[in-house]
Amino acid sequence: MADPNFFPKSKKLTLDQISKLTKIPLPKSADKNRVFLDVSPLDSASRDNISFLDNKNYINQFKKSKAGACFFKKDFKKIAPKNMIPLISTNPYYSFALLANFFYPMKDTTTAGIHPKAHIETSVKYDDTVRIAPGAIVSNNVDIGSNCLIGSNTVILSGVKIGANTAIGSNCTIAYSIIGSNVKIHNGVRIGQDGFGFAQNQNINLKMPQLGRVIIKNNVEIGSNSAIDRGTGPDTIIGEGTKIDNLVQIGHNAIVGKNCIFVAQSGVSGSTKIGNNVIIGGQVGIAGHLKIGNNVRIAAKSGVMKNIDDGATVGGVPSVTIKDWHRQTIILKKLISKKKNGK
């Protein structure tokens, strides 16, 4: 599945080990000692590979797959290939991800220690497990936890705190921030720069001092070239377990709950509060000073201009409930069709 030059594989696993790792029961007829060497997509899997089916668009590949075992929902058991061991899962993609993470643990190979071409101020606190790459600059009174990585040409400004096991990529800038543990920040991210706030008076746009911080909770991931502005007075907060894609903008004073998903090129304006377990599609724009409830789903390219209640699924510009959005689309198609036909 993966190029071993970039992704060295951990080791082989027996079916019994796979079952215990993923908590998926085995069929009674399955050989628990059978060995599997890798994970693989359906169309390229071989007898000693494990695959998964989580999308009906791949049913034809599933039927023809040579995978020795496969995670899928029980609805597809009747059409599974005869020689494929069924691993029935309520969430096949998650089960496959658990296994893939075991086969391919993401280990950074950077040697522990401070590269001689990195610049570290004497007041910085860190231990000998920290890795700092060439060209990095770490300013006064920064506190870096154990097993952290600071990438090449990244700048950490004064007073920043970074929790244990956090990896910060190359060419990042981190300022006025408290970063939790087990955080992954990809290349080119900007955290803690000025929020976009101006007081207007006739022809004058007076800059509002941005006196808050950015708080990144544990287990957050932030994609390449995303930006998170610091607060004006209250802090900007990213909740635990939230995952942010590339090219995402989060404005000052925004509060994001736990386990949210932000897809690429989405943007959140200042002082908006987002609940837990919210999924925000690509290129979504959310206006400022709004409240987005828990478990909300926002379709790609939507424009959110009012509060959204818990559990709602919305789409469109301006965003409406998903049912209303579909109705609007159907009505619009009919109107266009009538105009084309001269009616």
Q: What number is the average pLDDT over the span 158-164?
A: 98
Residues paired with residue 227 on neighbouring β-strands, in sequence order: 190, 249
Query: Please, which contacts does 278-281 make with residues 24 or more away whose CB atoms are closer than 8 Å?
Result: none
Per the structure block, which two tokens stand in for 106?
Answer: 């993401």
Q: In the chain, which segments carry CATH 3.40.1390.10? A: 13-103
pLDDT of residue 333: 86
The residue type of 234 is P
Catalytic-residue membership of 252: yes
Question: Given this model, what pLDDT does residue 178 score?
Answer: 98
| CB within 8 Å of 182: residues ≥ 6 apart | 163, 164, 165, 166, 218, 219
How far is residue 180's CA from residue 196's CA, in Å, rounded to a whole number? 25
pLDDT at 3: 83
The whole-number pLDDT of residue 343 equals 60
**Tens-place pLDDT, residues 29-68:** 999 999 999 999 999 999 999 999 999 999 999 999 999 9
Amino acid 26: pLDDT: 96
Nearest to 271 by CA among 341, 182, 195, 157: 195
What CATH architecture does domain 13-103 belong to?
A: 3-Layer(aba) Sandwich (3.40)
Confidence band of 138 (pLDDT split at 50, 70, 90):
very high
Domain 172-323 has CATH 3.40.605.10: no
Q: In 50-62, which positions are buried (b, 16+ CB within 10 angstroms) versus exposed (e)?
A: bbbbbeeebeebb
Residue range(s) in the chain whose domain bears CATH number 2.160.10.10: 172-323
CA distance 290 to 311: 16
Q: What is the pLDDT of residue 108?
A: 65
Query: Percent of the chain, pLDDT > 70?
Result: 98
Q: What is the CA radius of gyration of the chain?
A: 24
Of the listed 115, 119, 186, 252, which one is catalytic? 252
Q: pLDDT of 60-117, one tens digit each? A: 999 999 999 999 999 999 999 999 999 999 999 999 999 999 999 876 666 678 999 9
